[in-house]
Amino acid sequence: MSETPRLPPFYHLIVHDSVGSTNDVARELAGQGAADGTVVWAERQTAGRGRLGRRFASPPGNLYVSFVLRPAIGPAVAPQLSFVAAVALVEAARAVLPGRVAVSVKWPNDVLVDGRKVAGILLEAATTTAGALDFVVLGIGVNVTSHPADTAYGATDLTATGAAVTVPALLARLADALLSWRGRWLADGFAPVRAAWLAHARGLGAPIDVRLGDTLISGRFADLDADGALIVESAGGARQRVTAGDVVDAALQA
């Protein structure tokens, strides 16, 4: 790679031209004792993956990075890091995109630009034999110069907005924002992260469909609860917590 990003001293950057998956490399390093703040960055992935094992197209020119994190928290709280990463990604994207471009989040782990997916987040955690959190691997993929055309949801990339964005510059912005939001989360809890996520949430208050396997839940996107679950409100006013699933409402896919 021609340019190395300037990251805060907290991080230790490991660079690869090509890997199967940055998350796999980061998990292996974490299992060997890699320090909190280890960052694995690759120009391309040959076996990139997203949620539920879905294939993640990974050609050169986009950002593929995984962070090894060892926060002093319990395993039940670790999933909140997905929301920490999402608000950090929004902040980083807004810093490099024109002001006219809308940046938003889609539950549970996508970032959108002008309503189309530009980034995804994959969180993988490991616990000790005693049940304590050992480490979290936070994988992030951002479409910078290209995007797949055959996705279930509309996709785009950052340069499609007309912005002149480089992968190293974006990684530097993301690392700064992630460190800042992680610190705030550890100091103040999930409340400020939840508030920031909701402020950027696409479709809040609008009709929504969520697929849970073969089941479809329909209602209104009412809220995000205190532990990150999606709150769907039925026409009769009943509220249901959704902790896993895919938002499939057409209004949130366009």
Residues 99 and 153 in one domain: yes
Residues 70 and 166 in one domain: yes
Residues 23 and 73 in one domain: yes
Residues 26 and 122 in one domain: yes
Any domain includes 7: no
pLDDT at 232 > cutoff 50: yes
Nearest C-alpha neighbor of 84 from the set 236, 221, 186, 216:
186
Give me the number of domains the chain comprises: 2
Any domain includes 3: no
Residue labelled with tokens 């006013």: 237
Residues 238 and 189 in one domain: no
Q: Can you give the pLDDT at residue 52?
A: 47
Report pTM: 0.91
Residues 24 and 134 in one domain: yes
Residues 138 and 220 in one domain: no
Residue 99 exposed, middle or buried by CB count within 10 Å (0-12, 13-18, 19+): exposed
Residues 53 and 90 in one domain: yes
Q: Residue 163: what are its φ and ψ, rounded to 5°? A: -75, 145
Give the domain CATH number at 237. 2.30.30.100
Supply the DSSP string of 210-251, one letter for each residue. Answer: EEETTEEEEEEEEEE-TTS-EEEE-TTS-EEEESS-EE--GG
Any domain includes 149: yes
pLDDT digits (tens, 9 = 90+) for 106-146: 988 899 999 999 999 999 999 999 999 999 999 999 999 98
Residues 59 and 184 in one domain: yes
Q: How many whole angstroms separate alpha carbon 185 and alpha carbon 75? A: 15
Residues 117 and 187 in one domain: yes
- Which structural domain, as residue segments, surrounds residue 24? 12-200
Q: Can you give the pLDDT at residue 246?
A: 80
pLDDT digits (tens, 9 = 90+) for 78-109: 999 999 999 999 999 999 998 889 999 998 88
H-helix segments, 43-98: 81-96
pLDDT digits (tens, 9 = 90+) for 165-200: 999 999 999 999 999 999 999 999 999 999 999 999
Give the domain CATH number at 122. 3.30.930.10
Which of residues 163, 178, 200 is at a domain's end?
200
Q: How many whole angstroms separate alpha carbon 141 and alpha carbon 119? A: 5
Q: How many whole angstroms separate alpha carbon 22 and alpha carbon 66? A: 6
Task: Indicate the pairing of strand 207-212 with strand 133-142.
Answer: unpaired
Residues 235 and 129 in one domain: no
Residues 65 and 166 in one domain: yes
